[in-house]
Chains A and B, each alone.
Chain A
Amino acid sequence: MPIKEFALPDVGEGVAEGELVTWLVEAGERVEEDQPIAEVETDKAMVEIPSAYDGVVSELRAEEGEMVPVGDVFVVFETDEDDGATPTADEAVAPDPDDGATDPAVPEGRVFAPPRVRRLARDRGVDLGGLAGSGPGGRITESDVEAAAVGSGAETDDAPRDGGDDGTAVADPSANGTGASVESGAVDRTDPAPSGDGMDRDRTLAMPATRALARQDGVAIDAVPASQERDGEAFVTPEDVRTYADSGGEVTPEGAALPTASAADPSAEPGASSSRDEGPTPATDEAATDEASGPRPGDRIPYTGIRRTIGDRMAESKFTAPHVSHHDEVDVTDLVETRNRLKEVAADSGVSLTYLPFAIKAVVAGLKAEPYMNSELDEDAEEIVLHDEYHIGIAVATEAGLMVPVVENADRKGLLEIAREVQDLASRARNRTISVEELQGSTFTITNLGAVGGEHASPIINYPEAGILALGEIKEKPAVHEGEVVPRHILTISASVDHRIVDGAIAARFTNELKQYLHDPDLLLLE
């Protein structure tokens, strides 16, 4: 089988490298063309890298957590180009001496694996000589062996008590083949779960290590409620297996499907916890998920990936742009009515109309009135660049951290169109299928803490933008309306600006401008 090196493809404009976050395949695993093999995280997005070949993964050249430059070989395949016949057992097992030239591994007869891994391999009937290790320098790890064992469906029978035949079978495991010739996502062969109220799928996608875990825990992978979907198929994670096993195999599908529900719920309800009756907010969903599988007190969580990117960006912003925050509140009783009225109209078009599109339109109006709010400082050129486009970033809380997808040209789009776009962007940001391009190019950002609750904040600017607006929770509060104290819907807003280019007065005028539109949404008709 020809050896093909596979370099990290260009994953987005201007992206020079990506962090290899998760391998979706293991060395020795068979893959099909276009099957996702790795999750790579670039500046802000998680990208799945598909395989370019049909074949067997022979070597993983990068470790999880490693930064891989675009264009660097990070995985090697043995492709089956001369695809005519299925490989015989001999071909699958015995390293062909003639292949030596292309074999990147160590000379024959020498296996780099620690004693416990070698013992495990014997136990699983896996021939280490035929395995490409995923450890440093190709060192074979326990999971490599488990993967190969699952892949080959090797027997896990105990080694010989009465000598001869069993023993030689272990020494020469070719009987089962170790080519790991089972496609990822193939039907699991383990026995059904001992008990439980599980699923009963015919097919389940899962990583080999997950399958091994299921075997170890004595649960059938097809019975485990899946928390994810890949290409329309149920995808079971190790957490799913553990949850299912811990519950004695009685996890209800609903219970395990929480993250899916969260992903399906389009983030929604920005600025409006008052509409809780419409279903759980994303925040509640995530909290529930965390409880099931998330970090525990005392853990040390690696500061990497999106979390680190966010941190670096925040530090850069806060230490570069002197922030000044401006707080205000606005009576949005009319907006609440308007939105409630229009919501049903929007629903007819399949769009969930939240307050966010109104806020976006109001912000655009404010930006038009105060051009410095829609600008950035070009320090090299010593110029303040006033943007003539209105690309509004929407901060979205995801499991991985904050992401800011962008509604482009918000000034030229209608409410419904914006609402549809926000819904789509937020949903894809949460399930990490959003592209890098969709996270770039905003000129002003809105963050929405109201979905969780709270009034004022001191938001950090999405640098190098000039300002950011935080929306608080809409609450009914006593307010003076037409000379009387009455309950009104009040929205709290907080704007931070880069004081180098925007003075407090401009921030206040900007806030006043957008307040008008939030207070009296009819004005949006004039936009």
Chain B
Amino acid sequence: MVMGDVATGTDVLVIGGGPGGYVAAIRAAQRDLDVTLVEKDAYGGTCLNHGCIPSKAFITAADVAHDAGNAEAMGIHADPAVDMAGMAAWKDDVVTQLTSGVEKLCKANGVHLIEGTAAFKDDHTARIAHAGDGQGMESVEFEDCIIATGSRPIQIPGFPFADEHVWASKDALAAEAVPDELVVVGAGYIGMELSTMFAKVGADVTVVEMLDAALPAYEDDVTRIVRSRAEDLGVDFRFGEGASEWGEAGDGIEVVTETDEGETSTYGADKVLVAVGREPVTDTLELDAIDLEPDADGVLATDDRARTDLDHVYAVGDVAGEPMLAHKASAEGIVAAETIAGEPAALDHQAIPAAVFTDPEIGTVGMTESEATEAGFDPVVGEMPMRASGRALTMNESDGFVRLVGDEETGFLLGAQVVAPEASELIAEIGLAIELGATVEDVVGTIHTHPTLSEATMEAAENAMEQAIHTLNR
């Protein structure tokens, strides 16, 4: 023991206070376990501080500005001025409210909070370097440990985030001014969300993507709608190009891209946002001390209890691999905590929903038609275009559709793809239906409020049974 060390003991040590860690800590405390949560930066993790929440605040604000300025068809003539600093202040208020809420919840549930960075010393001891220089060390002995250290954005060669012109998503979400020109590297969900948002508040956005499509994880007819809306907003897509280098040019910068064939292009910009993915954070943990090793992707492999190769060490959230989603992290955190408490929990969820907050939004859950076929089902598909939805028309947002995938033989719902306003909300109903083992007919037999977007889900189910009322059954 080092001089100045304070040694404490705890049942459960949780490393990381994001949606995986703080949820695990609270659930474990609810189960009468003594819980210590270590957070190096800010409670709520990336999601609350630098990810989901600030981005959604910005996206909503940008929507308000953009919609107000583009509502001539509805008889509204306005030219809103965007004060990015004011927008950021409001966003910061939202974030503070949520993160302080997390801290209060942890305390109210009796979770012992330590600000610092934890590293393993041996199988049942971690050493915590308190946040802030010269604040000392602390040893914590634990029975079980839940690693919830999250992820960080991947850097590409030549684009160090340390440079003020190179933004990670976190920097973009801390922007105090709208860049006139923005180059976004990567057309994944972060790149698409932020491109759309900055375009709406007046930035001239170019998206550079090595692959040949935006949101390559989604089906073509899903991404087509989102990409085409982004293009309408002035976003310029450059597919098949990788960012190779950048340099200062006048007041701004130049970003150079290269195709597979070696053709280069140069784009002027004020900032370059690099959003090419995220990698798990394990390097601070000194995993050697417990003989644990991440796999080739840097991920801590876990079983269906969120347990690593060590029986008493769990990993939840981004550090445990894809999909890197806050709600998946929370679900894993709960399973880890309940397993430690001796309950029969497991990660046996039928489907993990996902949402992309583009315009319109994308919400997906479960299988696509081709995934269902691959899994051995005989899928039946039903669709409802939003242009046939009364509510969508009254929102002046009629792009997109709701698509349900069911099993022909049994009628069980297998998945859904929704491109629509509020798709992120619409998907919740379908997720519940899938989780409960509901059939397409169950959805048909559920009365949906009129006039709402959710009626489209019922209509899609009707369409799957070839009996839709408001569309032709093809």
Contact = CB atoms under 8 A, between A and B. Distances in A.
Interface of A: 106-115, 118-119, 122-123, 135-140, 158-164, 167, 170-171
Given A110-B375, A167-B305, A167-B307, A136 B344 contact: no
Contacts of A111: 348, 350
Contacts of B89: none
B339 A167 contact: yes
Contact of B344 (A109, A112, A138, A159): A159
22 contacts: A106-B377, A106-B407, A111-B348, A112-B412, A114-B436, A115-B436, A118-B346, A119-B345, A122-B346, A136-B411, A138-B410, A159-B342, A159-B343, A159-B344, A160-B339, A160-B342, A161-B340, A161-B342, A164-B311, A167-B305, A167-B307, A170-B344
B376 A108 contact: yes
Contacts of A162: 311-312
Contacts of B344: 119, 122-123, 158-159, 170
Contacts of B410: 106, 112, 137-138
B288 interface: no
Nearest to A166: B342
B435 A114 contact: yes
B124 to A, nearest CB: 13
A118 B407 CA distance: 20
A137 B339 contact: no
A397 B436 CA distance: 43
B34 to A, nearest CB: 14
A178 to B, nearest CB: 15
Interface string B402-437: 000001001110000000000000000000000111
Nearest to B442: A136
Interface of B: 303-305, 307, 311-312, 339-346, 348-350, 375-377, 407, 410-412, 435-437, 439
Nearest to A171: B304
Contacts of A161: 340-342
B437 A112 contact: yes
Given A114-B436, A123-B344, A170-B344, A137 B303 contact: no
Contacts of B439: 136-137
Nearest to A107: B376
A164 B439 CA distance: 36
A115 B431 CA distance: 12
A138 B437 CA distance: 10
A115 B312 CA distance: 25
Given A110-B375, A163-B307, A171-B304, A135 B339 contact: no
A121 B91 CA distance: 44
A106 B339 contact: no
Given A136-B439, A161-B340, 9 more contacts: A107-B377, A108-B376, A114-B437, A135-B437, A137-B411, A161-B341, A167-B303, A170-B344, A171-B346
A118 B307 contact: no
A505 B377 CA distance: 73
Contacts of B375: 107, 109-110
B312 A163 contact: yes
A158 B411 CA distance: 35
Contacts of B343: 158-159
A163 B311 contact: yes
Contacts of A113: 437
Contacts of B376: 107-108
Contacts of A109: 375
A240 B181 CA distance: 79
Contacts of B312: 162-163
Contact of B435 (A108, A115, A171): A115
Contacts of A123: 344
Contacts of A106: 377, 407, 410, 412
Sorted from nearest, which 4 A-B pairs have the closest CB atoms? A163-B311, A107-B376, A122-B344, A137-B410
